Amino acid sequence: MTASTETSGDDRDERLAEVLDRLINDSQSASSAGLLDKAVRENPDLESDIRGLYATAMIAADVALLQSDEVSRMIAGETPDEGPAPASTSPVGLMIGEYELREEIGRGGMGVVYRAYQQSLDRTVALKMIPNAAFAASHDLARLRAEAMAAARLSHPNIVPVYEVGEYDGQPWFSMQFVEGTTLSTRLADGPMTAEDAVRLLLPVVRAIDSAHQAGVLHRDLKPSNILIKKAGEPFVTDFGLAKRVPLADDSLVISGGSDEANLTQSGAILGTPSWMSPEQAAGQTDAIDVTSDIYSLGAILFAMLTGRPPFQAASPFDTLLMVMEQDPPAIRVLNSKVDVDLEMVVLKCLQKPRDLRYSSARELVEDLTAWLNREPVSARRSTIMNVMSRLFRESHHVTILRNWGLLWMLHSMVLLMLCLLTNACQFAGVTSRLPYVGLWVVGLGLWAAIFWNLRSRSGPITSIERQVAHVWGGSMVASSMLFAVESVMNEPVLKFSPVLGCIAGIVFLAKAGMLSGRFYIHAIAMFATSIVMAAIQRQGTPNFSITLFGVVSGLAFFLPGLKYYRQQKRA
Q: Active-site residue numbers?
A: 221
Q: Which amino acid is at 481?
A: S
Q: DSSP letter string over 407-419?
A: HHHHHHHHHHHHH
CA angle at 525 for the pair 524 and 528, rounded to the nearest 5°: 85
Q: DSSP letter string over 7-60?
A: --HHHHHHHHHHHHHHHHHHTTSTT-TTHHHHHHHH-GGGHHHHHHHHHHHHHH
Residue 343 CA to residue 147 CA, distance in Å, equals 33
Residue 557 CA to residue 517 CA, distance in Å, equals 13
CB 238 within 8 A of CB 146: no
Residue 124 CA to residue 128 CA, distance in Å, equals 13
Residue 221 CA to residue 241 CA, distance in Å, equals 8
Q: DSSP letter string over 154-218?
A: ---TTBPPEEEEEEETTEEEEEEE---EEEHHHHHTT-PPPHHHHHHHHHHHHHHHHHHHHTTEE
Residue 182 CA to residue 185 CA, distance in Å, equals 8
Residue 285 CA to residue 467 CA, distance in Å, equals 22
CB 534 within 8 A of CB 546: yes
Nearest to 158 by CA among 105, 74, 229: 229
